[in-house]
C-alpha cells in the first residue's frame, strides 16, 4: 500500500462506480438494438491475483506512468470521443449517454493528473525519471483501428453514434499533444522553486475545476476550442 490520501482513494472508487454505470447503459442500448439481452463476460484479469510487490519508489513511479497513459491520455481520449459523438448522433438516448460519459471521463482524467501530482510530491526523483520516459513515448501511441463496415459512410457511421476513423485520428493526435504539454509542464515544475510550484498547483486546480464542469466539457469541440451551445 502506498498510503495515498483518502480523497484520492474516494475519487478512485467513485470513478469505478461511474464505469459500472457506463457499462450498464451501453449494454442496455446494445440489448435494445439487438432485440435480446447482452451483458459482460468473465473478467479474466481479476483471476490472476496480485502482481509482484515493488519497492515504494518503484511502485510510485509505475503508478504515475500508468496514470499518465491509462488515465490522463486514455480517459482524455474517451472524453473527447464521447463529446464528439454526442454532436453527430441522431438518437437522443445515445446522445444523452455520450454526454454523460464525456463529463464523467473528463473527471476521471483529472483524477489521473492529481494522482500523478501526488506521486511526484511523494518521491520526485524516482517518479520524474520514469515519467519522463512515459512522456517521450506518448507520440508513438497508435490510434485504434475501427473494424471495417462495408456500405456505411463515415457520415452515416457518426449519425449512428460512433466516431469515424478520420475523426478519431484527429482526436487522438490532439489529446496526445495536450497530454504531452501538460505532463511536461508538471514534470518541470517539480524541480522549480517552492513558490513557483505552489503557484502552478493552484493554477492547475482552477483550470481543472473549469475543465470538469459539464458545460465546459460539452461546449468544447474535438479540437478543444469552445463551440456554440446551439451547434
Summarize pLDDT for 11-29 with one digit per residue, the tens.
999 999 999 999 999 999 9
Backbone φ and ψ for 226, nearest 5 degrees, come out as: -60, 145
Q: How does pLDDT run across 66-107, given as a tens digit for each residue?
A: 999 999 999 999 999 999 999 999 999 999 999 999 999 999
pTM of the model: 0.78
Task: Please state which of the ranges 32-46, 130-144, 216-230 shows the lowest mean pLDDT.
Answer: 216-230
The set of residues, in sequence order, having a beta carbon less than 8 Å from that of 60 and lying 6+ positions away, is 2, 119, 122, 123, 126, 127
Residue 218 host element (H or E) = helix 214-218
Query: Could you tell me the residue ranges of all domains in the chain?
Result: 7-29+54-142+156-218
C-alpha cell at 186: 508538471
CB 85 within 8 A of CB 161: yes
25 CB contacts (<8 Å, ≥6 apart)? 97, 100
Amino acid at each position: 500500500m502506498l498510503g495515498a490520501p483518502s480523497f484520492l482513494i474516494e475519487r478512485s472508487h467513485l470513478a469505478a462506480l461511474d464505469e459500472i454505470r457506463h457499462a450498464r447503459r451501453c449494454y442496455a442500448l446494445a440489448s435494445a438494438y439487438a432485440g435480446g439481452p447482452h451483458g459482460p463476460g468473465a473478467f479474466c484479469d481479476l483471476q490472476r491475483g496480485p502482481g509482484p510487490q515493488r519497492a515504494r519508489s518503484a511502485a510510485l513511479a509505475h503508478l504515475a506512468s500508468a496514470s499518465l497513459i491509462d488515465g490522463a491520455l486514455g480517459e482524455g481520449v474517451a472524453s473527447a470521443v464521447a463529446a464528439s459523438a454526442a454532436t453527430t448522433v441522431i438518437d437522443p438516448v445515445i446522445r444523452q449517454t455520450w454526454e454523460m460519459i464525456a463529463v464523467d471521463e473528463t473527471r476521471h482524467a483529472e483524477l489521473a493528473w492529481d494522482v500523478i501530482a501526488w506521486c511526484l510530491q511523494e518521491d520526485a526523483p524516482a517518479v520524474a525519471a520514469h515519467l519522463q520516459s512515459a512522456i517521450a513515448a506518448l507520440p508513438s501511441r497508435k490510434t485504434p483501428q475501427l473494424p471495417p463496415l462495408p456500405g456505411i459512410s463515415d457520415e452515416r457511421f457518426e449519425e449512428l453514434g460512433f466516431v469515424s476513423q478520420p475523426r478519431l485520428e484527429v482526436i487522438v493526435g490532439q489529446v496526445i499533444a495536450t497530454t504531452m504539454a501538460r505532463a511536461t509542464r508538471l514534470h518541470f515544475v517539480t524541480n522549480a522553486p517552492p513558490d513557483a510550484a505552489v503557484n502552478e498547483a493552484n493554477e492547475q486546480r482552477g483550470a481543472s475545476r473549469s475543465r470538469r464542469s459539464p458545460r465546459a466539457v460539452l461546449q468544447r469541440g474535438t479540437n478543444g476550442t469552445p463551440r456554440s451551445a446551439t451547434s
